[in-house]
Structures are given as C-alpha cells and as structure tokens.
Amino acid sequence: MTPPRPSTTAEEPELVDDQIVKALAHPLRQRILAILNRKITSPREVAEELGEKLGDVGYHFRMLRDYGAIELVRTEQRRGAIKHYYRATTRAMLDQEQRERLPASARRRILGQTLEQGWQGVREAAESGGFESDDARAADERFELDERGYKAMVKLLDQTLAKAGDIQSGVIERRGAGEPAPDEIRTALMLLHFLPDGEPT
C-alpha cells in the first residue's frame, strides 16, 4: 500500500501539481521527503541523518507541511520538549501524468536535483563498498524498440517503482503495528530510462 496522497477532484489536478512542484522545488525538501517516504521520523533525526542544521530542516518541514506533502503523525514528550513525528503523504517524485502537465523548466529543475542526489548516492556507495554485496545490482542495457515495445518498457518501470513503494509502505505499517524491529537494511533503487540520442525528430 503506497502512502496516501491528498484527495483531488476533476477540477483540482493543476492546483495539486503546483503544490507538489513547490514541495520538490528545493533540493533539501526533496531529500527530506525521500526520507519521510521510508519512515516516520522527526526534524531533529532528519537533520542528523542529512548533516544539516536543525533550523534549516525545521523550516523546510514546515514548508512541506504547508504544501500538503507531509503530515504530523504523533508527538512525544522528551526531556521537557515535545518531539514531532511526521510521515510523507506524497512521493518524492512525480508520476508520468504530473510530469506531462508541468512546464519544461520545472521538469528540468526537478530532474536535475534528482540526478544530482542520485549520482552522489552512487558515488558514496561505490567508495564505501555498497556494490560489493551479492545482492547489489548494476546494469547498463541498450535496446532498440518499436512504439509498442517502448510503451511496454515505460509501463514496466512505472510498475517497478510502484511495487518498490508498496514494499516500503509495508515496512512502515509493520513498524507502526509494533512488530519487533530487525536490523535496518538501507538500500537505494535508482532507475534511469532515457533516449541516448535525445528526443526523436
């Protein structure tokens, strides 16, 4: 089950897309949202994980909440202070329909942020031995497809991302249900599907 998304009507998609674009417009917000897609956590814990200032992270948490991208799950009293825990209500990426409704400039900006963060993660994993596990995967395959094959490939990748989100949501639900927490296995999935020669003419 994927994280719920704000409900919309037939007249609202452009407004919702605008909110999502604003939520993802800043690289730090995109990174925060990616973390909240995999677990329920607090601004302080996110700041520690990202190595960012708590004030900066707290500000972008508020922005994400205002844009409807995250929601407060619970509060806890900790050492005289109240700790707030949040979860994501939308993915840290756009689906195909949302991308198609965006202006090219917005698509390029969000794509650039996504690629920059992805490649940084790849470099860090390569340097730390993250690809040495027998379960790690790295492949570079090239294809020559007809239109039907191309559409089938796009559909396959969309289904793969959706299924990956379902797997993560299942983990979050088990944690929320109080199941014993085994050692955390942090993984990263990066899918790239593009036209090497650019848009067809």
For the chain (201 residues), the mean pLDDT of every run of 10, in chain order, is: 41 61 85 88 93 94 92 86 88 71 76 84 90 90 93 92 87 74 80 83 55
pLDDT at 56: 95
DSSP line for 174-192:
HHHTT--------------
Residue 64: burial class (beta carbons within 10 Å; 0-12, 13-18, 19+): buried
Counting the structural domains of the chain, the total is 1
pLDDT score for 129:
92
78 within some domain? yes
The pLDDT value recorded for residue 116 is 85
Q: CB of 38 within 8 A of CB of 172? A: yes
Report residue 120 CA to chain centroid gap.
Answer: 15
Q: Provide the phi-psi class of 80: left if phi over 0, else alpha when psi is between -120 and 50, else beta.
A: left
Instruction: Write out the residue range of the structural domain in which residue 66 sits.
Output: 13-136
pLDDT tens-digit readout, 128-161: 999 998 899 888 899 999 999 999 999 999 899 8
Q: Looking at residue 37, what DSSP letter applies?
A: T
Element (H, E) at 86: strand 81-88
Q: Specify if 31 maps to a domain.
A: yes
Cite the beta strand spans of the chain per DSSP E.
Answer: 70-78, 81-88
**Does residue 113 fall inside a structural domain?**
yes
Supply the pLDDT for residue 179. 65
Tell me how far apart the terminal alpha carbons of the chain are, to the nearest angstrom.
Answer: 39
Task: Tell me, yes or no, whether 75 lies in a domain.
Answer: yes
pTM of the model: 0.61
Question: What per-residue confidence (pLDDT) applies to 84?
Answer: 93
Task: Give the span between the Cα atoms of 22 and 106, in whole angstroms.
Answer: 10
Q: How far apart are CA 10 and CA 107, in angstroms?
A: 23
pLDDT of the residue at 72: 94
CATH assignment of the domain containing 108 = 1.10.10.10
